[in-house]
Each structure stands twice: as structure tokens, then as C-alpha cells.
Amino acid sequence: MSHPLVNDRYIKATLQQETDRTPIWMMRQAGRYLPEYRQLRAEAGSFMDLCTNPELACEVTMQPLRRYPLDAAILFSDILTIPDAMGLGLYFTPGEGPAFKKAVRDEKAVKALPILDPHQELKYVTDAVSTIRRELKGSVPLIGFSGSPWTLATYMVEGGTTKNFSEVKGLMYEQPAVMHQLLDKLADSIIVYLNAQVEAGAQALMIFDTWGGVLTPRDYQELSLRYMAKIVDGLTREKDGQRIPVTLFTKGGGKWLDLMAATGCDCLGVDWTTDLNEARQRVAGKVALQGNMDPSMLYASDERIREEVETILASYGHGNGHVFNLGHGIHQTVNPEKAGVFINAVHELSKKYHQ
């Protein structure tokens, strides 16, 4: 565990310190676009069989790092591990996405949810973190993560994926006190879960607020941002003398970046619907920025991918505090070679922005 970090570009960039080039990793970099992942998943039996086996989760985490010169590893897991550990019975149907055997739709169901002990129900996650840290041998930092309270709540109340959010919005408008009870309980569970990941060896943290963008500005502050701010306040921010950077990402949240920057996080994820130059002005040096190429750009020609990388680098401009990433997860049908073109372009073209 005590290997010094060989490549600390990602950590430095999230803390707005000087780097020789812009670091890059990709959301969902360990996953279905890689043939070696698909083979391992077929052998494992199911997605959850991969997640709950620390050795296999480690192997999946390492796969993209063997292929590409990435600047960070991210724990292979799922945002729905917490509701699953709360007893809701997570399962996956091919082509349908995640679903729960039990939905949470009233006060009784919320009260019945336990506050998690991550060393019990989610020990497979912390075991995976420590296994990956050993395997990385300090080559790049390991990012741990969780879903946001609002995002987890949407799945728990809906009972799975949704297009119109009718159940969760129905609950929040009809029974706001119950909704807040649920979000509060989730925030408490996420704090202990992420701190357990840091204890096990995660060197940075990220909170994915996938569905924050479906809320009105007022509801976003009240139901999503407020609880992410509570989590940021409760996190372990230093370990072994090293700062643990925290990144918040609300998909569709570009208009709230200034509010998000005020939570005390270190970095904000930005999707492709927001210009990075505008984002940089909005956050006024308070936080670093991560993003923000449209994942669909990886279907384009090599030249077009390089052109887009240059455009995004120029949009952010000179100086530190930029982590290059896609604006959301890499699509499963992308040719892995295109990801290589993208990563190499960032490494090559970003040097001049750090002189």
C-alpha cells in the first residue's frame, strides 16, 4: 500500500497544481466496449458476479490500463451497490438495465432501510479497492466513487430505470418530508461508504449525480446539491499526508456550476452541453474542471477526434486544473482503437497548454 505515486498528474490537476500535460481518464473506461471485459463477464456469469468478486473487479479495473496510457484508475463497481446492500434486491435484465425487487415509496419503507456498515454488506467493495491498490503498485491513482443521494433515490423509488421520473417526483412533491428522510439516510450511508473506500486505499473520490439535471433549479438545490454538500462535509479529505480530491458530477448541471463549486469539493465534472471556457469563468478558480468530450465523438474519424480534443483544450485554455474526460460514460459499441486515438491526442496536444 505504501508505493509512492509514479504518475500523480490526475491528483495534481484536481487540486489545480502544475502538471506537464492534461491528465485523462474515461468514465466507464473499464467496461463493455473492451472485448477482454466481455469475455471475463461471460466467464463470471453476470455483472454483479464481477462486482462482488474483488479479484475479478480488480482484473476489470486493470484492463483499460494495460491498453492505454491513462492517468487514473477507477474502481470497477456500480452506483447501485448501496440500495442493493440496503436489501432492495438489485438485478439486471439484458437490454432493460437495473431493477429492484422492492421499491421505496412511503415512510414505512424509508424507515425500514438500514444505515450501512460498509465493512459488512459492502466488504466486497472495500476488498476490491485494497486489491486494486496493491495491483496498481503506485502507477496511477485509484478513484473511488458513489452515486449521489438524489440519483440513488430515483432508482429506489422508481424500482429501476425510468424515462419520466413520475414515481420519484410524485413522492417529492406529495410527501417532501419522506423524500428528505430518504435522501438524508442515503447521504449518511454514502459518507461511511466513501470513507471506507479511502481507508481501503482510494486516493480520490467522485460522486455521480446522473439525474440531477432532471430537476428544476430550486429542486436541484434542495434535493440534490444540499445532500452532496453534506457528503463533501463528511468525507475524509486527507490520508497518509495526501489530500483526497473530491469531484462532483451532475449530468445536465452546467447551469449550476457556481453553486456546486461552493460545496467545498475540489473538482467538477462537466458534460458536453457546457462550453469549458464558460464553465471556467463560472467557477472563477474555486475548483478544477473535468470533461467534456461528447462520447459519440469516438464514432468519428481519427482526424475529427483529434480536432475535437484540440477544440476542447483550447476552450479550457492555458494553465492547470483541467482533467480531460468524456462528458459521460464511453458507449459500449465504440471501437477500442478510437479510445486510443483520443487518449494519445490528449497527451500529445495538451503539452503546449502547460508551458
Q: Which domains does the chain have, with CATH numbers?
A: 9-354 (3.20.20.210)
Has 322 been labeled as part of a binding site? no
Is 299 annotated to bind a ligand? Reply is no
- Of 10, 37, 155, 316, catalytic: 155
For residue 21, say whether it is annotated as part of any ligand binding site.
Answer: no
Among residues 32, 67, 226, 243, the one annotated as catalytic is 32
- Catalytic hit among 41, 67, 237, 243: 41
Q: Is 93 annotated as a binding residue?
A: no
Cβ contacts of 252-258, under 8 Å, gap ≥ 24: 252/212, 252/213, 252/214, 253/209, 253/212, 253/213, 253/220, 254/279, 255/217, 256/217, 256/220, 256/221, 256/225, 257/282, 257/283, 258/282, 258/283, 258/284
> What pLDDT sits at residue 317?
98
Per the annotation, the verdict on 237 as an active-site residue is: no
67 is catalytic: no
Q: Stretch 133-151: mean pLDDT, rounded?
A: 98
Residue range 1-29, pLDDT digits in tens = 468 899 999 999 999 999 999 999 999 99
Distances in Å between the Cα of 199 and the Cα atoms of 204, 248, 260, 301 are 11, 20, 26, 43
Question: 318-335: per-residue pLDDT in tens?
Answer: 999 999 999 999 999 999
- The pLDDT mean for the chain works out to 97
Q: What grid cell was written down for 241?
A: 499526508
Burial of 147 (0-12, 13-18, 19+ CB in 10 A): buried
pTM of the model: 0.97
Is 32 catalytic? The answer is: yes
- Tens of pLDDT, residues 224-277: 999 999 999 999 999 999 999 999 999 999 999 999 999 999 999 999 999 999
| Strand 142-147, strand 322-326: pairing | unpaired
- Which of 8, 71, 78, 84 is labelled catalytic? 78
pLDDT at 2: 63
Q: What is the mean pLDDT of residues 29-43?
A: 97
Q: In this predicted model, what pLDDT tens digit does every residue of 187-219 receive, in sequence order? A: 999 999 999 999 999 999 999 999 999 999 999
